[in-house]
Structure 1
Amino acid sequence: MNCVKIVSCLKGSFCHLRLVIALWLCSYQNVVALPLLPKPGQIPSTSELPSSPNSATFQPIEISPTMIPHYPFHGEPLPPMYPSFPKTYDPVLTGRCPVNFSVISSITAKTASDCTQSLSTVVGNVICCPQFNSLLHIFQGFYSNHFDTLVLQNALADDCFKDIISILASRGANSSLSSMCSVKSSNLTGGSCPVKDISTFENAVNTSKLLESCSTVDPLKECCRPFCQPAISEAALQISGIKMTLSDNKNIVEAPSEIDTLNDCKGVVYSWIAKKLRFEDANTAFRLLSSCKVNKACPLDFKQPSEVINACRNLAAPSPSCCSSLNAYITGIQKQMLITNRQAIICAAVFGYMLQKAGVMTNVYELCDVDLKDFSLQGFCLPWWSSIWARRVLASKLTCRSGI
């Protein structure tokens, strides 16, 4: 009997010991070791240096739309840059366009995002319209993958164009993109270009050179030393059947009808490029080419600045009336649209030339403290030194215009 008691006691002690060890191990796992600070003058070893944390340590922060502050001015339209979530719905399609639009959904989604109702009115020239044109080129290239032509017939182009507009509008895009970007369904037909089928195009054009030039567009070099743009122009000229006249080492197309034909053929070339490239690569290339074209001209509409001319003519010192009329005029044209900084430089030069042509020979930009940000809305985000740089640019533009 005593032996049984001893055995049961030992057994209980052993179980108790196992329980204590288990609890101790669990508590040991929750212990956090405190780092030992090195003594002064002691250089820590490589093993003691801290290592970068595991990526799994930090989880992504979820941001709910409810976290966006409510716009305090009730009853007034939201600012263009205010975050909003446009309502989406199922588009009503014609059913006569033989294209699976879901395949190019990534490009249509980007276009709808760049052409929202609120943003398109201010960034149409810079962002929305270039992306919309890129979508149409990519759509043509996607269509040509299933047919032997690089363009669409007139009736089919009308139906597909309506479907594209409906899809974009259902995702929150501006429903008047056609008029805003001056694009019609005829842009999908190739217009007056004589070459529209794939086989004739590839026989007439050096396609390997064209693809090599435009498969990857350099965002830094293309606008200054174009590589893809000349290749597109050369291919368009080859399929247009237009004979160029040589004058002063420059090729010149004189007839307006020939210019239209050349532009229509460029659309066919874009369609072939879109056919050969991935959707995202083609979209990137087309957007870069558009940015080069956009930055070559001023898109603002300058009305006759009569008040500025009358207030600033024969001026040698700063004048409150001159600067007031000048700032009021610039504020008015600034509200037309959002432009790039390069466009702002061109617009400033154009406006300065208008003033000089009307007899305002004084550098009113310098006198009235006008710089680049006054022509470009996004210029307010530029650093402080941009104002100094902008004034120098504007002053140089005025000096070049006046011949001083």
Structure 2
Amino acid sequence: MGCFQDVNCHRGSLCCQLILFFTWLPTFLDVTAQAEPRRISSLVELAKEPTSGESGLFDPIEISPAVIPKFPHPSESFPPMYPIFPSKYEPVLTGKCPVNFSESEISNMLDKTASDCSAPLASLVGNVICCPQFSSLIHIFQGFISMKSNNLVLPNEAADPCFSDIISILASRGANSSIPTLCSVKSSNLTGGSCPVKDDSTFEKIVNTSKLLEACSTVDQLKECCRPICQHAITDAALQISGRQMMINNNENVAQEVNYTDYLNDCKGVVYSYLSKKLSFEAANTAFRILSSCKVNKVCPLTFKEPSEVIAACRNVAAPSPSCCSSLNTYIAGIQKQMLITNKQAIICASLFGSMLRVGGVMTNIYELCDVDLKDFSIQAYGQQGCLLRSLPADVVFDNSSGFSFTCDLSDNIAAPWPSSTSITSMSLCAPEMSLPALPTSQTLKNIGCNSAGVGFLVIIFSFFICSTLLY
């Protein structure tokens, strides 16, 4: 603490040794934040994504706009997002669900989901934290309840009461009771729907289960989203048990079936259930959350209204313009009231909005002219600092002294990317197709010193733990 109170650094002090340590290690330079962070002017070159051959099968998790909180006064600061303390009570269960919810494994999973979907925060972190964890819980519960039988799904008569009990238990532990609406999940998701294979023995006769388990037992969180292994194995298994693989091999046009996507998704739910039955809860939950991250980080979850006023004010500008920047800032202030997004989603959102402006005739990079950063596209914590969540799976953290909180990433000012064209259909955030920004040099950080308030130094240490690379 003495270092933070003393503006002057001494050569032999632990403070300066640590500062030199972080200055010399380029691995950490790209995430270092200072009291007055400098802008990195270029983020990525948008390149074509690797062809997976399965476009449309991994759509983002849906989040209902009906549950997103409305903030009618954009100029006002947000209320603090913590401390918040949950109120717990004994849930009233239906008594018709054939499962013991007090068993430690399923109870721990319910606790984790209740924390990630805590009532005050669920709508703000739904797309990135709550819904992926809730979807994983449903898959794991489906496998858990079928462990003592040959089934992979719940019978229709058990699905409704079990789903109702899950929501009641989550709400009793502090979760938002509107999770089903928030995450677009229904009790029918527990039944396997229209998938023709719903039992172990038939599943194992059709699917190469050894290959499936090998692909999904350990999912590489850095590689899976760009070089899918588990995702492809799940889709292949779903195609096989749906009977569609043979039709595809025979060149039949199954894509024209009205319910083809729903049909395949029902069978993917059965595959998830089989994995939940064979893997440990922890391994299954980790795998499912990583797969969800791959989905949510492919698409911008924000809603953009027609930016006609921004286009009118910025169409012909070539230099900083007060009227253009004012109009742009007002528009972005509205976007900031929607939800917390990840750093990767912010890149896509910024590019998407930029392409809308280019279609309207705004050719100049007004992000640069008006100092628009990636963090400007997410909720502003306390109305001052933009918060971007990490692109990898993250959880809401509960502490008895501070309440619920979450970790923000990209605390420095990364410039929002201006698109090179009106289309972003070929955008990829996958290495080696993309180019990461140049790392800051030691020259850039030569005057880092000790900060009397301790802010810059604390953020460096904090970044050491949470931000080892720019995007991951």
TM-score band, normalised by the shorter chain? 0.7 to 0.9
Aligned to 1:351: 353
Indicate yes or no: 2:164 matched with 1:162: yes
Going from structure 1 to structure 2, the CA distance change for 1:216 and 1:335 (only over 3 Å counts) comes to same
SS in 2 for 1:106: helix
From the two aligned structures, give the one with the greater helix fraction: 1
1:378 to 359, 384, 387: 387
- Displacement after TM superposition at 1:85 (Å): 1.9
Aligned to 2:82: 82
Aligned to 1:201: 203
Aligned to 2:59: none
Going from structure 1 to structure 2, the CA distance change for 1:178 and 1:221 (only over 3 Å counts) comes to same
Q: Whose radius of gyration is greater, 1 or 2?
A: 1
Matches within 5 A, 1:93-104: 93-103=93-103, 104=106
Indicate yes or no: 2:267 matched with 1:258: no
Aligned mates of 1:80, 1:240 — CA distance in 2: 48
Q: How many residues align?
A: 320
- Displacement after TM superposition at 1:100 (Å): 0.9
Q: Percent identity?
A: 69
Aligned mates of 2:264, 2:168 — CA distance in 1: 30
Runs (5+) with no aligned partner, structure 1: 1-76
Q: Which moved more, 1:271-280 or 1:313-322?
A: 313-322
Aligned mates of 1:80, 1:93 — CA distance in 2: 34
Q: Which moved more, 1:84-93 or 1:157-166?
A: 84-93
- Displacement after TM superposition at 1:382 (Å): 2.7
Native 8 Å contact 2:154 2:190 kept in 1: yes
SS in 2 for 1:133: helix
Structure 1 stretches of 4+ with a deviation exceeding 2 A read 77-81, 243-247, 251-256, 379-384, 397-403
Aligned mates of 2:89, 2:125 — CA distance in 1: 24
Aligned to 2:151: 149
Aligned to 2:322: 320
SS in 2 for 1:253: helix
Going from structure 1 to structure 2, the CA distance change for 1:252 and 1:338 (only over 3 Å counts) comes to farther
Aligned mates of 2:247, 2:187 — CA distance in 1: 29
Aligned to 2:420: 398
Per-residue Cα deviation, 1:239-292 (whole angstroms, up to 9, x for no partner):
111145479x9x983433111111111000000000011111111111111111
Aligned mates of 2:158, 2:121 — CA distance in 1: 30
Per-residue Cα deviation, 1:122-158 (whole angstroms, up to 9, x for no partner):
0000000000000000000001102221111222100
SS in 2 for 1:296: coil
Going from structure 1 to structure 2, the CA distance change for 1:323 and 1:290 (only over 3 Å counts) comes to same
Aligned to 1:187: 189
Aligned mates of 1:334, 1:290 — CA distance in 2: 23
Aligned mates of 1:261, 1:349 — CA distance in 2: 33
Aligned mates of 1:198, 1:382 — CA distance in 2: 45
SS in 1 for 2:313: helix
Aligned mates of 2:139, 2:100 — CA distance in 1: 16
Letter in 2 for 1:151: V
Matches within 5 A, 1:13-162: 79=79, 81-103=81-103, 104-162=106-164
Aligned to 1:70: none
Native 8 Å contact 2:215 2:233 kept in 1: yes
SS in 2 for 1:102: coil
Going from structure 1 to structure 2, the CA distance change for 1:78 and 1:93 (only over 3 Å counts) comes to farther
- Displacement after TM superposition at 1:401 (Å): 4.3
Aligned mates of 1:400, 1:220 — CA distance in 2: 29
Letter in 1 for 2:410: L
Indicate yes or no: 2:307 matched with 1:279: no
SS in 2 for 1:101: coil
Native 8 Å contact 1:124 1:181 kept in 2: yes
Aligned mates of 2:182, 2:123 — CA distance in 1: 8
Native 8 Å contact 1:352 1:398 kept in 2: no
SS in 2 for 1:175: coil
Runs (5+) with no aligned partner, structure 2: 1-76, 379-385, 389-407, 427-472
Aligned to 1:51: none
Native 8 Å contact 1:115 1:124 kept in 2: yes
